[in-house]
Chain A
């Protein structure tokens, strides 16, 4: 893994970082690379309330904020930014305002690597809109001054359209840390992990591969 000056991670929801990239985050932090996580919303529109429900629509954001802070603590993230947007509204925000929000983070932190979602290939409208805002912000920089941009994609057509991911990172050395970060988002992951626990116990190769391999597509700028 190439040495980075500073890594900036930009996702819209608490828990977006946990599934796809928390192994990568933990690995960078272990090697002494500072990581900033900018999380646009508090996942206010999440549908998992526990079964039976232990929270409700109005209290969910408070719980998810604590879960996000706990996941950041587990991963060793020192710089967590909660940007105060609202879940499921990112695509309806003013695009220039969003771009400027990301640009000011880039100006302040001067990251050598940014990690976000691949616009158009990330299923949730907030994912696509967040990735698009990051791309617009990076595109404003002269090509030689741009940080690298590694994107997460998981739409059904992503491999067909983008080709295989050019970075497939084995994060098994930090497997336990990643699992703990996923667990920290209890309201959203408890049920999923319960469904998966038998397979985890039996070291099911498919589940282990899903957790241990983090895939990134290096963004190809057209501008």
Chain B
């Protein structure tokens, strides 16, 4: 993955607008967070292969970045995005890695279902 290039990512987000796309969205602090620090409140969420269509998508912020997708009947957003990649299947992979390089958030947009 590469560091976010706002212009390229914005172009890619635009490319998927108004099309049926599959979304992978996750946030995670890791399954061991509370094991190592009992005061830590562990939380996360995960959706794989939500089939949606968004009319407007934006990447904002000064890095780490935020990405929001506006749908006819709702919203999708992620914050903490640091890296992006267009993979060999033409999917836009966005991820946020923490200071140690661990994945903390991922938002992925694909024209075909994820495996």
Which A residues lie at the B interface, using CB under 8 A? 45-53, 56-59, 88, 123-126, 155-156, 191
Cβ of B40 < 8 Å from any Cβ of A? no
Nearest A residue to B91, CB-CB: A58
Nearest chain A CB to B20 CB, angstrom units: 19
Docked Cα-Cα span, A52 to B82, in Å, equals 11
Extra pairs beyond A48-B102, A49-B103, A124-B32 (14, CB < 8 Å) = A47-B102, A48-B101, A49-B95, A49-B97, A50-B101, A53-B1, A56-B87, A57-B103, A57-B106, A58-B87, A58-B93, A58-B108, A126-B31, A191-B101
> Do A56 and B97 touch (CB < 8 A)?
no
Nearest A residue to B101, CB-CB: A51
Question: From residue 60 to 115 of chain B, which have CB atoms closer than 8 A to chain A?
Answer: 83, 85, 87, 91, 93, 95, 97, 100-104, 106, 108, 114-115
Chain B residues closer than 8 Å to A155, beta-carbon distance: 35
Knowing A47-B103, A57-B24, A88-B46 are in contact, say whether A125-B97 is a contact too (CB < 8 A): no
Nearest chain B CB to A50 CB, angstrom units: 6
Nearest A residue to B104, CB-CB: A47
User: Which has the most chain A C-beta neighbours within 10 Å: B91, B102, B103, B106?
Assistant: B103
B-side interface size class: 20 to 34
Docked Cα-Cα span, A125 to B31, in Å, equals 8
Nearest A residue to B103, CB-CB: A47
Nearest chain A CB to B48 CB, angstrom units: 9
Nearest B residue to A155, CB-CB: B35
* Tally of A-B Cβ pairs under 8 angstroms: 61
Docked Cα-Cα span, A48 to B35, in Å, equals 18
Knowing A57-B24, A88-B46 are in contact, say whether A191-B1 is a contact too (CB < 8 A): no
> Do A88 and B85 touch (CB < 8 A)?
no
Chain B residues closer than 8 Å to A58, beta-carbon distance: 87, 91, 93, 108, 114-115
Nearest A residue to B93, CB-CB: A56
Docked Cα-Cα span, A209 to B28, in Å, equals 31
Residue contacts A-B, CB under 8 angstroms, 25 given: A45-B26, A45-B28, A47-B30, A47-B102, A48-B103, A49-B97, A49-B101, A50-B101, A52-B101, A53-B1, A53-B83, A53-B95, A53-B97, A53-B101, A56-B85, A57-B26, A57-B93, A58-B87, A58-B114, A58-B115, A88-B31, A123-B31, A123-B32, A124-B31, A125-B31
